[in-house]
A and B are shown apart, each in its own frame.
Chain A
Amino acid sequence: AQSVTQLGSHVSVSEGALVLLRCNYSSSVPPYLFWYVQYPNQGLQLLLKYTSAATLVKGINGFEAEFKKSETSFHLTKPSAHMSDAAEYFCAVSDQTGANNLFFGTGTRLTVIP
């Protein structure tokens, strides 16, 4: 069975500071891992995904995430936060039989302080 733990339901950073959102997964099989972003009053937008290719994955809007099997982690980072990054971020995991079995974390709300 797959599961995801997102540490920190709320994260605040100053504009221009590093963004680090943590995600740890549990999976009995090699996983697919995803980060989605939800802006206020909108649906979910795919930021990036890991599907067993390169362990460092680059996504949209300057975000990237690194798959670390030894740590069972898939943390999301961005070198310099922008005000427009304020949103809810969800980490999700599926097994490699397909994305139909997608398990979401509880989400992290990112606040960017001017």
Chain B
Amino acid sequence: SAVISQKPSRDICQRGTSLTIQCQVDSQVTMMFWYRQQPGQSLTLIATANQGSEATYESGFVIDKFPISRPNLTFSTLTVSNMSPEDSSIYLCSVEYREETQYFGPGTRLLVL
């Protein structure tokens, strides 16, 4: 399986600020995904990020709030913009790597005060 790392692992931020989360994978992958896991809940897909094209956002998520970059086949960033306490969540990136399976990073735990 692919080895995926995320930075930062956790952060505490003030409302109105922005945080950029990095996702690095040790193999070249076509598809990367960003999920949100709100406290005590399951995972919700934010967007799909393919290298060389604009990210595709799911219903309820917009580029102005969650801009995504995908500069190469091993790296992506998700920015959470103009944060509010409702953005407090775990943000996970994942990759589709062989055999139609998604593998997940360790997550970024965000608390917005």
Contacts and interface: CB of A to CB of B under 8 A. Distances in A.
Interface centre among A32, A99, A107 (most CB of B within 10 A): A99
A100 B42 contact: no
A44 B92 contact: yes
In this complex, the interface size class of chain A, counting residues with CB under 8 Å from chain B, is 20 to 34
Interface in A30-47: 32, 34, 36, 41-46
A106 B42 contact: yes
Contacts of A32: 100
B42 A99 contact: no
Contacts of A43: 4, 6, 92, 104-107
Nearest to B30: A100
Contacts of A105: 42
Given A99-B96, A100-B31, A100-B48, A46 B43 contact: no
A114 interface: no
Nearest to A4: B42
A104 interface: yes
A104 B101 contact: no
A46 B103 contact: yes
A96 B94 CA distance: 18
B102 A99 contact: yes
A32 B99 CA distance: 11
A94 B96 CA distance: 12
A34 B105 CA distance: 17
Contact of B42 (A34, A49, A90): A90
Given A42-B107, A104-B43, A106-B42, A99 B100 contact: yes
Contacts of A45: 104
Interface of A: 32, 34, 36, 41-46, 49, 51, 90, 94, 96, 98-100, 102, 104-107
Closest 5 CB pairs of A and B: A44-B104, A43-B106, A99-B100, A43-B107, A43-B104
